[in-house]
Amino acid sequence: LVDLVARRAAEAERARAQSTALARLAATVAASDDPLIRLVDDLRRTFDLDAVAVLRRDGDRWHAQACSGKPCPQSPDDGTDSLELDSSSVLVLRGPRTPADDRRVLAAFAAQLALAIDKQSLEAEAVRARGLAEANRLRTSLLSAVSHDLRTPLATIKAWLTGLLGDDVQFDRHATDEIVRAAVGEVDRLNALVGNLLDMSRLQ
């Protein structure tokens, strides 16, 4: 009877500890914009581990996305246990092996870590998408302004030269020279504009 009571008390304490860990896990995810670091730290403290790391594969190398404890595992082989979070990320634990009764809590931590990684990836994609949208907006504005700046001198040059070629009006030498000089000025303006565009494309 004493043994049974002791086992029941231990089970109740374990269940209480698991409930506390799960409640803290939910609070961490809800309260943090980037819960990855806090989740890893809570996981290490909950299971009294030496170190916990989330590693991401980059080609044939691993790099740590989040780490708590020292020394930080640099590969899955550096830990005493590991769980796959997604196709390129793994959770690495170093320290005492997790008892079977606590695997449910560990699985909950792993699931939340996987969600946090997905969130980071989606946020990075959103930032890239916003950057592309802004670049497209600027490109559209630039093309609109450039097309106007190109058309105005071209239309002016065409009007002047068409007038010179026409038979309905006769221009004297002085007027012809003025028109030609004005057309040359517009051509120089176009040349400068095209040069600026080429410089800008090289910078880009």
**Once rounded to an integer, what is the mean pLDDT over residues 75-95?**
82
Phi-psi map region of 64: left, alpha, beta (phi>0 left; psi -120 to 50 alpha): beta
What's the pLDDT tens digit per position in 1-30?
777 777 776 655 565 555 555 556 555 554
H or E stretch at 83: strand 81-84
Provide the pLDDT for residue 114.
79
**Once rounded to an integer, what is the mean pLDDT over residues 141-168?**
81
Residues counted in the chain: 204
Q: Output Rg (C-alpha) for the chain, integer angstroms.
A: 35
Model confidence at 41: pLDDT above 70: yes
Give the Cα separation of 117 and 88 in Å (integer): 11
Q: Which two tokens stand for residue 68?
A: 């708590």
Alpha helices in the chain (DSSP H): 2-31, 36-46, 103-165, 173-203
Provide the pLDDT for residue 58.
81
Provide the pLDDT for residue 28.
55
Give the Cα separation of 75 and 61 in Å (integer): 8
Model confidence at 40: pLDDT above 70: yes
Give the Cα separation of 35 and 111 in Å (integer): 13
Phi-psi map region of 115: left, alpha, beta (phi>0 left; psi -120 to 50 alpha): alpha
**Smallest Cα–Cα separation from 91: which of 19, 103, 34?**
103
> pTM here?
0.47
Would you state the torsion angle of the CA atoms of residues 30, 97, 57, 63, taken in this order, to the nearest 10 degrees? 80
Give the Cα separation of 149 and 147 in Å (integer): 6
Give the Cα separation of 161 and 117 in Å (integer): 65
Give the Cα separation of 172 and 169 in Å (integer): 10
**Once rounded to an integer, what is the mean pLDDT over residues 151-170?**
82
Provide the pLDDT for residue 75.
83
Would you state the torsion angle of the CA atoms of residues 134, 135, 136, 142, taken in this order, to the nearest 10 degrees? 110
More confident position, 94 or 120: 94
**Once rounded to an integer, what is the mean pLDDT over residues 63-81?**
82
Model confidence at 178: pLDDT above 80: yes
**Once rounded to an integer, what is the mean pLDDT over residues 189-197?**
84
